[in-house]
Structure 1
Amino acid sequence: MKKIRIGMFSWESLYSIRVGGIAPHVSELSEALAAEGHEVHLFTRGHENNDEIITGVHYHRVTCDQIGGIVEQMNMMCENMYNRFLNVREKAGEFDVLHGHDWHPVNVLCRIKAEFGLPFVLTFHSTEWGRNGNRYGDWWEAKEISRREWLGGYECSDVITTSTMLKKEIQQIYKIPDYKLWKIPNGINVGKIKREVDPGNIKKHYGIHPCLPVVLFTGRMAYQKGPDLLIEAAARVLKKKNAQFVLIGEGEMRAHCEYQAHKLGIGNSCNFLGYAPDNTVIDWFNACDLVCIPSRNEPFGIVVLEAWDASKPIVASDAVTLVENFKTGIIAYKEPSSIAWGLNYILEGLGRNRMGEKGNDLLKQKYNWKTIAEKTLEVYEKLVEKHKSSF
């Protein structure tokens, strides 16, 4: 495929404002596309308006006042992205394809499409329904976010989903036809997480006995991610086995989970670290004995790839479709006693190393960014040819 000019739009990236899993996806995919010889311009939020080239990717950061609700903030971001896009387009030339991520940039993508006829691809990383478990009721912002998800799915030429489960969820909620849908998984730069560390020293630094096994949870402390299910499961595990639980992340459920642990009498065995820098998270991936992903809804599960990169076994709920039961991890039902059974199975040493190693092998074969970039370019190629033939 000849060199193409790609406009990538995301509210977060690794080298601007970071929020969650979209940031590594967008930056690392952009780098892989640039490595294939394509010109990638990433429009994203920043603390100031500036331009920078990082690992071959042109970053165009726009400021966005963090006042008002999330919808109001994204309205302002889209307005600023539109103005920046006009400036970049004038200097760099016409773009071949635009690629947005989640609902946040939908307004600017639709505006550019309407004014310049440029088609766009939209990657869904999750849905508002999945994030909230259909619990938002009359919350107008959630309904507006859902409306923009629908609008993006309707206006875009192609939709990329990261898993079969998310594809089905999107089809059920927004009735997007099959011909628009592509399934392309998330990825990781192999070796990003793996480090040679002294697990005992890391545990001692946090007041944990170096010989005690550690179960790691990392992610948003939110209903979707199920940290409360893990706390209840931990109470069951601790009746049979001495262990420690390390939970990294912030969110609306953190205070509830801390109270829950105290009420269950396991507060001394649960370590809530809150938001932690990358080096701390990487240390714990390498120092822990297993990783637990108790999600109620999981569109993909980048934590799975990170755990496999460190060759760690996983206990995951059946919302996580990447894990093959008893081969690359243990699959549990979305309830505490089932999660506890899975944790005990691995803590007792049954297949621990074998599962982590098989996950690492799969990671190298299927979830590296070069492979994912090649699949993404197939979507672009189809879109560019279709766009040309329409003239």
Structure 2
Amino acid sequence: METLKLAFFCWESLHSTFKVGGLAPATTHLAERLAQKGHEVHFFTRGEGDDATINNVHYHYCLPYGDNIVEYCRTMSNMLVDAFRAHDTPPFDILHFHDWHVVEALHTLRDRSTVLSYHSTEYGRHGGNFGGWWEFKEISGKEWYGGYIAKTVTTVSSSTKTEVMWLYNVPGWKVTVIPNGIDPDAYYARVDPGEVKKHYGIHPLAPVVLFVGRLTYQKGPDLLMQAIPEILAKHWDVQFLFAGTGDMRGYLEGMAHGLPVQFLGYISDEEHVRLLNACDLVAIPSRNEPFGLVLTEAWSAERCVVATDVGGLAENIDNFRNGIKVPVRPDSIAWGVCHLIDDPAYMQRLGKAGRRKVMERFRWSVVSERMLGVYREVLRKGRDEDNRAG
């Protein structure tokens, strides 16, 4: 089988000082899985220190600067292109760009065999609202331009495909849906739930609802917070843990006054796994969700989920078979949580069904092979164009 020389452009990875959200694990693990298959993978990203090879992936770092996020990403793209050119002999076969941050680099290298992956959109990151400030317009413009000049486009869900087609007029034939992958065994652990709960001052038998994610409008933590009094009216002993950081934390802390809620802030990967396997259910109350990595993480731990019926969550959850989907409303979220807590055996069945779906559809061995199919199609089309030109 043909081996490829691949260049990843992304503003974060798991192996740098800059890790913001789900983009880092999604791109890092994809790169590592492709390297395991024998392909030569170079990852151009932000970071301090010298270049390094980690898990067979070659990392090349830069330290950008800028007075705002748009200028910062412009200097980053220029630096990444310089690093790329230093390693372009023999030439790379595929250049894979992730999200808008590196569109300036895509512009410079647009004549090559390029792939742009939309992990989300600026519209989606604002919870399905159009922003009025200049950064929103600048970033949205770069997302449009990237979809226009890339040879092919991937999205993490069909809903995101529809979103970029609607927002940016990207033709459907140009877009392939490739979901995020996961290593399910990395999120499954045998823990004593009672001991983990006691660590947080919670009675070992008290039901625990876990939220994991950025505390931002898009992720809907305020919707879950508004649902809590209604949940407690029916189940007084339920406890709530919010893991993550974000600009809504102060507002949420005010809402949580007098409620059985703990804000854990940033947690380590190890603690993340412990909590997933110790909680009773995971709540995902997003207003907009391109994919929702926390869904496949929860399923990998055999946890049941209550999620809003949006985006990738709506696509991937089979309602009442491996989770519960509810409208984007606090009272609906409260109903879903109460419905599950009333029947622990049912919760367990749904969680196990979720893990089975992960094993069938979302393991990296499956997802990486699908991405390789996209790469080979780009190369095939490039060869056909060269033949016609010749």
SS of the equivalent of 2:234 reads coil
Partner Cα separation in structure 2 for residue 261 and residue 135 of structure 1? 26
Residue matched to 2:378 = 383
Partner Cα separation in structure 1 for residue 204 and residue 75 of structure 2? 49
Contact 2:209 2:282 in 1 (8 A): yes
Of the three residues 232, 236, 244, the one matched with 1:249 is 244
Partner Cα separation in structure 2 for residue 187 and residue 258 of structure 1? 33
Residue matched to 1:73 = 72
Partner Cα separation in structure 2 for residue 284 and residue 132 of structure 1? 28
Give the counterpart letter for 1:260 in structure 2: M
Residue matched to 2:117 = 123
Could you report, residue by residue, the CA deviation over 1:347-383 in whole angstroms, capped at 9, with x for unpaired residues?
A: 1125111000000011011100111111111111011
Residue matched to 1:82 = 81
Residue matched to 1:39 = 40
Question: 1:136: how far off?
Answer: 5.3
Quick check: 222-231 or 275-284, which moved more?
275-284
Partner Cα separation in structure 2 for residue 251 and residue 135 of structure 1? 18
Residue matched to 2:103 = 106
Partner Cα separation in structure 2 for residue 203 and residue 69 of structure 1? 42
**Structure 1 residues 268-307: aligned runs within 5 Å:** 269-307=260-298
What is the number of equivalent residue pairs in this alignment? 380
Question: 1:135: how far off?
Answer: 4.3
Quick check: 379-388 or 286-295, which moved more?
379-388
Partner Cα separation in structure 2 for residue 373 and residue 187 of structure 1? 8
Partner Cα separation in structure 2 for residue 344 and residue 47 of structure 1? 47
**% of aligned pairs identical?**
44
Could you report, residue by residue, the CA deviation over 1:279-334 in whole angstroms, capped at 9, with x for unpaired residues?
A: 12111101100000000000001000000110000000001221111001011110
Contact 2:242 2:262 in 1 (8 A): yes
When normalised by structure 2's length, the TM-score is: 0.95
**Structure 1 residues 1-391: aligned runs within 5 Å:** 1-16=1-16, 17-48=18-49, 50-65=50-65, 68-90=67-89, 93-113=90-110, 117-133=111-127, 135=129, 137-241=131-235, 242-262=237-257, 265-266=258-259, 269-319=260-310, 320-321=313-314, 322-349=316-343, 351-391=346-386
Quick check: 137-146 or 328-337, which moved more?
137-146
Distance 1:134 1:316, change over 3 A: closer
Question: 1:255: how far off?
Answer: 1.0
Partner Cα separation in structure 1 for residue 97 and residue 347 of structure 2? 39
SS of the equivalent of 1:105 reads helix
Partner Cα separation in structure 1 for residue 128 and residue 323 of structure 2? 29
Note the residue ranges of structure 1 that are not aligned, 5 or more in a row.
none
Quick check: 323-332 or 128-137, which moved more?
128-137
Partner Cα separation in structure 1 for residue 123 and residue 226 of structure 2? 25
SS of the equivalent of 1:239 reads helix
Quick check: 376-385 or 55-64, which moved more?
55-64
Partner Cα separation in structure 2 for residue 133 and residue 357 of structure 1? 30
Contact 1:47 1:64 in 2 (8 A): no
Question: 1:206: how far off?
Answer: 1.3
SS of the equivalent of 1:390 reads helix
Partner Cα separation in structure 1 for residue 321 and residue 59 of structure 2? 40
Partner Cα separation in structure 2 for residue 135 and residue 307 of structure 1? 28
Distance 1:148 1:294, change over 3 A: same
Deviation above 2 Å: which 4+ runs of structure 1?
A: 133-138, 388-391
Partner Cα separation in structure 2 for residue 282 and residue 146 of structure 1? 35
Partner Cα separation in structure 2 for residue 143 and residue 175 of structure 1? 16
Could you report, residue by residue, the CA deviation over 1:19-57 in whole angstroms, capped at 9, with x for unpaired residues?
A: 111111111111111122111111111023x22111111
SS of the equivalent of 1:88 reads coil
Could you report, residue by residue, the CA deviation over 1:258-278 in whole angstroms, capped at 9, with x for unpaired residues?
A: 11121xx41xx0011111111
Partner Cα separation in structure 2 for residue 38 and residue 389 of structure 1? 23
Partner Cα separation in structure 1 for residue 67 and residue 266 of structure 2? 23
Question: 1:18: how far off?
Answer: 1.0
Partner Cα separation in structure 2 for residue 286 and residue 230 of structure 1? 20
Question: 1:119: how far off?
Answer: 2.3
How big is the alpha-carbon RMSD for the aligned residues of Structure 1 and Structure 2?
1.2
SS of the equivalent of 2:2 reads coil
Contact 2:123 2:131 in 1 (8 A): no
SS of the equivalent of 2:58 reads strand
Partner Cα separation in structure 2 for residue 232 and residue 213 of structure 1? 18
Distance 1:134 1:143, change over 3 A: farther
